[in-house]
Structures are given as structure tokens and as C-alpha cells.
């Protein structure tokens, strides 16, 4: 996976000191299961970590760049930026699905383009960057990857995700 790893690093604009983190970020649980790597061999733990880093990095960016925005609007804006659809779209743009290590069944079932897999690998790569070089590198990586989404927020073009819209309707009817 050496040449492929270097190729992917060029695409994502980040070079890992410890290549193992990137390999693990790309390892789907189906592949880990088939290769008998155990539950800890897949990207699931990195996804968990990456999700937290993504939320903190995006929250920090919004807090710093929208000083007049109240908390509720910050929350809605963040939710619309880091929703599943956006993360899968960004993963697709980075061709992360092409580099996923998948088990045979997942491969045959279209796993490279499945939204949940793309979202998960996007978050796992963030977790890998965080472990590889720490908070500043991870925050910079997140901001770089979400730059277009942040620019849309600055221009008021953020579309709400369906969950947020549903919650607003429910709260209006209850209130």
C-alpha cells in the first residue's frame, strides 16, 4: 500500500509521519474481520476520535469567525456543515472510497460508495491526523477540508440538514 498511501496523501494534502494511522483509517471492519485483525484493527476507533476532533475544530472555527452569532445559530450552522451528506461528499471529492480496504462482501455490495462508509472514513482520517501530529495539525486539516462549507456559512448559504429541520418543526408544534 506504499505507493497508494503516498498517492492518497497527495490528494488529501497531508503526509503522515506514522503511515500505520492512515492504513488503519482506511480499514473497514469487514476487511479487519476477514483478515482476522480483530475489532481493534478497523477504523472504528479512529472514526470515534475523528468525530470528536471534527466537532471541536468546526465549533472553534465558527466561534472565532462568527462572533455575533448566538449559540443556537452556531449549533445549527455546525450541524448543517458536519452532517452525514456533507462528510460523504467531501470523502468522495478526496476519493477516499477508492482507498478503502473492504472485505469481499462489502466490496461486492458497493461499499466504496456507501454514504456511511464514506462519512466514517472521512472522520477516521481526521482521527488519524490527530494521533499522528496532534491538535494543531488536525484542526488545520479539518478547516482546510471544510473551507468551502465554511465559506457557504459566511455567505448565508447553509442548508439545514433534515434532522435539524424536523427538530425545529417538532419544537414549534410543542411550543
Burial 144-171 (b: 16+ CB within 10 A, else e): ebbeebbebbeeeebeebeebeeeeeee
CB 29 within 8 A of CB 39: yes
How far apart CA 154 and CA 58 sit, in angstroms, is 13
By annotation, the residues acting in catalysis are 51, 123
Cell of 163: 434532522
How far apart CA 21 and CA 149 sit, in angstroms, is 26
Amino acid at each position: 500500500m506504499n505507493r497508494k498511501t503516498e498517492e492518497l496523501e497527495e490528494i488529501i494534502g497531508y503526509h503522515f509521519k506514522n503511515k500505520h494511522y492512515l492504513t488503519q483509517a482506511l480499514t473497514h471492519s469487514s476487511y479487519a474481520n476477514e483478515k482476522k485483525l480483530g475489532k481493534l484493527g478497523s477504523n472504528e476507533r479512529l472514526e470515534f476520535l475523528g468525530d470528536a476532533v471534527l466537532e471541536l475544530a468546526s465549533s472553534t472555527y465558527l466561534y472565532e469567525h462568527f462572533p455575533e452569532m448566538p449559540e443556537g445559530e452556531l449549533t445549527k450552522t455546525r450541524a448543517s456543515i458536519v452532517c452525514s451528506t456533507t462528510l460523504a461528499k467531501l470523502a468522495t471529492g478526496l476519493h477516499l472510497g477508492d482507498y478503502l480496504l473492504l472485505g469481499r462482501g462489502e466490496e461486492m455490495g458497493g461499499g466504496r460508495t456507501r454514504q456511511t462508509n464514506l462519512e466514517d472514513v472521512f472522520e477516521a482520517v481526521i482521527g488519524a491526523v490527530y494521533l499522528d501530529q496532534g491538535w494543531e495539525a488536525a484542526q488545520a486539516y479539518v478547516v482546510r477540508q471544510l473551507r468551502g462549507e465554511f465559506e457557504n456559512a459566511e455567505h448565508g448559504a447553509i442548508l439545514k440538514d433534515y434532522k435539524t429541520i424536523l427538530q425545529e418543526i417538532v419544537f414549534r408544534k410543542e411550543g
